[in-house]
Amino acid sequence: MTRQWKYILGGAALLLTVLFPAVFNSPGALHLMILIYLYALLGMGWNILGGLTGQVSLGHAVYFGIGAYVTSMLLVTFGISPWLGMIPGVAVSVIISLIVGYPCFRLDKHYFVIATLCVGEIIHIIFLNWEAVGGAIGIWLPIMDTSFSNFQFHKTKVPYYYIILSFLLIVIFLTAWIQRSRLGFYFRAIREDQDAARSLGINAAFYKMVAMGISAAITSIAGTFYAQYLLFIDPPSVFALILSVQMCLLAVLGGKSSLWGPIIGAFILIPLSEYSREFLGGSGQGIDLMVYGALIMAIAAFQPRGLIGLLQPRKGK
């Protein structure tokens, strides 16, 4: 594809997403799109560490949950606007991610996956039993006036749509910048071969922590949005293992070493799981998992680089 065509297609896609609410303004359509963008954001956050740097985490729900809980608790107890609360949310997530990363990055890749999974489950259990933050019951956020500074909009979902779209666009630009910069080269070098990377002066331990921190920060912001959008959080909805699995799956399905992979993944996976839930009623949750399993097997067998591999064939470049 030539550069020109890329700009034309990119511009058209941007125009479509920006104009979407003007055409499809039913709450259902908007809700679906908001979910897709939210998960795309999660997939892209996961992808900085898991795809670009090759360190597969199955505990990223932790940062999503922390982002959601820190902003919600600050709002409920001190009345702090979620926009401000997002900052300590990110800070706490990044600190926790570095505490997790420091020992876990010393492990072999496979043990790293297991360690992150365990940390995720431990934190889930801690929150289930932590009465001061609502325990298993969770937190209802106070209903406030519709306003941007309150991060609440009651008449229409359109503002939420634009907020999450803006977050996503920022992260797309951030990722594109990382990929082109030295940081991105170093991340990929570590993914491809850590020993070789180190032979070129790359401090692998340090750069893995950087990737972890960026990844956790993005995931945490998504958590803040989620809490404001639903106005209710409890441990299963933000700390569940399935969330961590979904983040990973989106990226792997779409193409985990590419910029657009997680977005493609979200556009396929989220409608699929929403509709399977709708069609199959209350037991839909189990069906989701079966669909995920089948998809993973299909991807592993036919298109290991993810669906993006169909659009960008290898050889040359």
Instruction: Determine if 181 is a binding residue for other proteins (CB under 8 A).
Output: yes
Q: Name residues contacting other proteins, limited to 216-255 (CB under 8 A).
A: none
Taking each continuous run of H as one helix and of E as one strand, the counts in the chain are 14, 2
Binding letters toward other proteins, positions 134-173, x by CB under 8 A: ----------------------------------------
CA atoms within 13 A on the CB side of 297: 6
Which residue stretch of 161-169, 184-192, 213-221, 285-293 sits at the interface with other proteins (rule: CB under 8 A)? 184-192
- Collect all residues with Cβ–Cβ distance below 8 Å to 135 and sequence separation of at least 6: 127, 128, 129
CA–CA distance, 3 with 295 (Å, rounded to integer): 32
Angle at 216 between CA 295 and CA 258, to 5 degrees: 45
Contact pick of 162, 198, 237, 291 for other proteins (by CB under 8 A): 198
Q: Which lies closer to other proteins via its Cβ, residue 149 or residue 203?
A: 203
Q: Which lies closer to other proteins via its Cβ, residue 10 or residue 304?
A: 304
CA–CA distance, 57 with 113 (Å, rounded to integer): 5
Max CA-CA distance within the chain?
58
Nearest distance from C-beta of residue 303 to other proteins, angstroms: 15
Nearest distance from C-beta of residue 247 to other proteins, angstroms: 21
Instruction: Determine if 317 is a binding residue for other proteins (CB under 8 A).
Output: yes
Contact pick of 257, 261, 269, 273 for other proteins (by CB under 8 A): 257
> Per the structure block, which two tokens stand in for 221?
């912001």
How far from the centroid of its chain's Cα atoms is residue 106's Cα?
24
Instruction: Determine if 182 is a binding residue for other proteins (CB under 8 A).
Output: yes
Contact pick of 150, 185, 237, 242 for other proteins (by CB under 8 A): 185
Radius of gyration of the chain (CA): 19
52, 183 in Cβ contact below 8 A? no
225, 168 in Cβ contact below 8 A? no
42, 57 in Cβ contact below 8 A? no
Cβ contacts of 28-31, under 8 Å, gap ≥ 24:
30/156, 30/157, 30/158, 30/160, 30/161, 31/157
Instruction: Determine if 188 is a binding residue for other proteins (CB under 8 A).
Output: yes
In three-state secondary structure terms, 198 is helix
Instruction: Determine if 196 is a binding residue for other proteins (CB under 8 A).
Output: yes
Contact pick of 46, 63, 105, 186 for other proteins (by CB under 8 A): 186
> Per the structure block, which two tokens stand in for 89?
């949310």
Which residue stretch of 24-32, 61-69, 283-291, 308-316 sits at the interface with other proteins (rule: CB under 8 A)? 308-316
Contact pick of 61, 115, 178, 197 for other proteins (by CB under 8 A): 197
Q: Which lies closer to other proteins via its Cβ, residue 110 or residue 314?
A: 314
Q: Which lies closer to other proteins via its Cβ, residue 155 or residue 314?
A: 314
Instruction: Determine if 258 is a binding residue for other proteins (CB under 8 A).
Output: no
Instruction: Determine if 192 is a binding residue for other proteins (CB under 8 A).
Output: yes
Number of neighbours of residue 107 by Cβ within 10 angstroms: 13
> Per the structure block, which two tokens stand in for 251?
């990226």
Task: Tell me which residues touch other proteins (CB under 8 A).
Answer: 180-182, 185-186, 188-189, 191-193, 195-204, 257, 314-317
